[in-house]
A and B are shown apart, each in its own frame.
Chain A
Amino acid sequence: TQLLEQSPQFLSIQEGENLTVYCNSSSVFSSLQWYRQEPGEGPVLLVTVVTGGEVKKLKRLTFQFGDARKDSSLHITAAQPGDTGLYLCAAMGSGYSTLTFGKGTMLLVSP
């Protein structure tokens, strides 16, 4: 079972600040997904990264996959209160049947 370490566990910032959260493992991933979960709801997929070194942008969110495909980061520019939520990274198992999730980073953006 792949172990995914996410950091930080909790982040509280003011609107307009930038932030980066990380997802690391000792294993190589075939792909990695980032989900956002808002309070009282299920997680929703934000992005999937597949290629080492890949960078994907989703409005103010930038996702990067490490060259060795063992780590990933999510950078948010000019955070807004609507970005508040739990950010989860997840990696597909070798049989492509199940996902392993990290424990998540809880982000709170205050006005």
Chain B
Amino acid sequence: NAGVTQTPKFRILKIGQSMTLQCTQDMNHNYMYWYRQDPGMGLKLIYYSVGAGITDKGEVPNGYNVSRSTTEDFPLRLELAAPSQTSVYFCASRRFSGGSSTDTQYFGPGTRLTVL
């Protein structure tokens, strides 16, 4: 199993450009997540999905969009890139085992995005 894969690893955008960060997992996990990580700020949840066709906002959703058409894929879309979106983005997945608070989240290696 490859686990959680993310592409690209690095990207530089100009202000106002758009891009899609790709995330794929091969563990048949129902839950998937997008986080951003800024220096000294831990991980902040952008969006999450509990299954194909279902998405919900996290703590910092403004400026982003997501879709979940398949179990495996959970792309994150930036429509009008702004310098404030410079960050490292992590995708994660988890098999929700019904009422358990002990499930493991598996993270991808991250995408480092710079907006200039």
- Residue positions of A touching B, CB distance < 8 A: 1, 9, 30-31, 40-45, 48, 50, 88, 92, 96-104
Contact = CB atoms under 8 A, between A and B. Distances in A.
B53 interface: no
B42 A104 contact: yes
Nearest to B90: A42
Given A42-B110, A44-B107, A30 B42 contact: no
Contacts of A9: 40
Interface of B: 4, 31, 33, 35, 40-45, 48, 50, 56, 58-59, 90, 92, 96, 99-102, 104-105, 107-110
Contacts of A103: 40-42
Contact of B105 (A41, A45, A100): A45
Consensus secondary structure, chain A interface = loop
7 contacts: A30-B101, A31-B102, A41-B110, A43-B90, A48-B102, A96-B99, A101-B42
Interface hub of B4, B101, B108 (most chain A Cβ within 10 A)? B101
Contacts, number: 55
B114 to A, nearest CB: 15
Contacts of B43: 43, 88, 101
Contacts of A44: 107
A97 B48 contact: yes
A41 B42 contact: no
Contacts of B102: 31, 48, 50
A100 B45 CA distance: 8
A100 B50 CA distance: 16
Given A43-B105, A97-B48, A101-B42, 12 more contacts: A1-B59, A9-B40, A41-B110, A42-B4, A42-B90, A42-B107, A42-B108, A43-B43, A50-B101, A88-B42, A92-B101, A96-B101
